[in-house]
């Protein structure tokens, strides 16, 4: 069946339907990873986004039960150049097409993703629509123009857990070391691989919904606070910013992605939207204290403005080598630090897993 991709600036691509039939809207972004589409689709940070894969052939290893980053697909839609109907992997349980249909996610294949990516780089990420409808382009464009927008919308509230729960879930392999630390995780759209990375470092985890008051978290008496990744604009998540402000200095705090941005806002910084965001598993970041370059996995459209951080309180620790944007900072006096990228490496390199070890070290020193 035929499908169409329409962008809010009027550009249209025609291709073939992939996954469910129907219509999906969201912000159109591109991801430069060569693999990991299952982890990308199930990452809650992609909520309300139509994800374009720049690698030309997608689907050849299917999907499997072990590589989910959440309980379902969160990406609003999927855009690829060529779909592989042949699945070849010993762990595969479904094809990508079956997986998208199972969760009712609309996709499109057989379009020029190279041209689409170049357009997004030149004109910026923008709202778009994937549809199998035969309605006129004008009707669809009118609907797109009147639909929900990403900027100014609290997406964290839409993806956070409904209730408090503990990690590990059933079926998780036990870590090689005892669970010596209690970590309270604020769930703004947390990935399972982040929870696994903390768990492997000997952390007993309790996951709290994004709107949980600080007093309720502190009543559990955790050794540390973790601020998770998540989708969208950080500024509407003002309740979390106020909560983090009340937690500063009371426990060690580690933030990733949206958690990094919320922490920055809590310290008085400002955030802004990138032209087309950072999405991929190949972004170079310099660790300023050592000069080492890490190849990182990233997924975000907003950043903390480095110049807005209070220089007398905060030290910049990581810088993006592609565009010079802020990738990490730490407080000079308090056990508080964060990074914009994803050190849990799913999908992506393992260069930055030391950050979880640093968090454990901060908790040890704070308790001592």
- 342 flagged as catalytic: yes
Residue 4 in contact with residue 311, Cβ under 8 Å? no
Q: In this structure, what token pair is assigned to residue 41?
A: 């689709």
Dihedral of CA 222/226/232/236: which sign? Answer: positive
Q: In this structure, what token pair is assigned to residue 243?
A: 């909560």
* Residue 129 backbone class (left: φ over 0; alpha: ψ -120 to 50; beta: rest): beta
Residue 337 in contact with residue 328, Cβ under 8 Å? yes
- 39 flagged as catalytic: no
Kindly list the distances between the CA atom of residue 293 and the CA atoms of 32, 288, 351, in Å, as whole numbers in the listed order.
19, 9, 9
- Active-site entry in 27, 235, 327, 344: 344
CA angle, residues 198, 177, 333, in degrees to nearest 5: 50
Which among 45, 49, 344, 6 has a CA at the least distance from the CA of 203? 344
* DSSP β-ladder status, 82-83 and 77-79: unpaired
- Active-site entry in 257, 260, 287, 327: 257
Residue 281 in contact with residue 349, Cβ under 8 Å? yes
Beta bridge partners of 88: none
Which among 49, 15, 32 has a CA at the least distance from the CA of 301? 49
CB atoms closer than 10 angstroms to residue 148: 9
Which among 138, 64, 137 has a CA at the least distance from the CA of 95? 64
Distance of alpha carbon 201 from alpha carbon 178, whole angstroms: 9
- 123 flagged as catalytic: no
- Active-site entry in 260, 279, 300, 342: 342
Q: Among all residues, which ones are annotated catalytic?
A: 257, 342, 344
């Amino acid at each position: 069946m035929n499908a169409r991709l329409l962008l809010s600036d009027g550009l249209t691509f025609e291709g073939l339907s992939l996954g469910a039939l129907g219509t999906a809207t969201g912000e159109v972004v591109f991801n430069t990873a060569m693999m990991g589409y299952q982890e990308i689709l199930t990452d809650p940070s992609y909520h309300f986004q139509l994800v374009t894969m720049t690698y030309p052939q997608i689907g050849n290893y299917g999907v499997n039960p072990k590589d989910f980053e959440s309980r379902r697909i969160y990406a609003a839609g999927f855009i690829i150049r060529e779909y592989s109907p042949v699945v070849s992997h010993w762990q595969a349980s479904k094809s990508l097409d079956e997986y998208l249909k199972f969760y009712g996610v609309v996709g499109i294949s057989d379009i020029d993703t190279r041209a689409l990516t170049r357009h997004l780089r030149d004109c910026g990420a923008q709202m778009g629509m994937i549809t199998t409808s035969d309605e006129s382009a004008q009707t669809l464009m009118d609907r797109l123009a009147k639909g929900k927008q990403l900027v100014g919308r609290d997406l964290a509230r839409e993806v956070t857990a409904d209730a408090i729960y503990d990690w590990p879930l059933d079926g998780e392999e036990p870590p090689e070391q005892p669970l010596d630390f209690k970590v309270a995780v604020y769930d703004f759209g947390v990935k399972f691989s982040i929870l696994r990375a903390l768990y492997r470092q000997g952390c007993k985890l309790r996951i709290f919904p994004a709107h949980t008051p600080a007093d309720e978290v502190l009543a559990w008496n955790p050794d540390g606070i973790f601020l998770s990744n998540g989708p969208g604009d950080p500024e509407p998540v003002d309740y979390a910013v106020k909560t983090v402000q009340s937690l500063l200095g009371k426990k060690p705090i580690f933030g990733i992605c949206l958690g990094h941005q919320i922490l920055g806002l809590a310290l008085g910084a400002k955030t802004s939207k990138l032209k087309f965001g950072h999405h991929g598993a190949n972004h170079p970041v310099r660790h300023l204290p050592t000069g080492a370059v890490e190849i990182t996995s990233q997924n975000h459209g907003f950043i903390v403005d480095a110049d807005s951080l209070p220089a007398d309180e905060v030290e910049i620790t990581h810088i993006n080598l592609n565009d010079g944007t802020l990738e990490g900072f730490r407080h000079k006096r308090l056990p508080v630090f964060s990074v914009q990228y994803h050190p849990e490496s799913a999908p992506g390199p393992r260069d930055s897993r030391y950050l979880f070890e640093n968090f454990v070290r901060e908790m040890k020193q704070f308790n001592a």
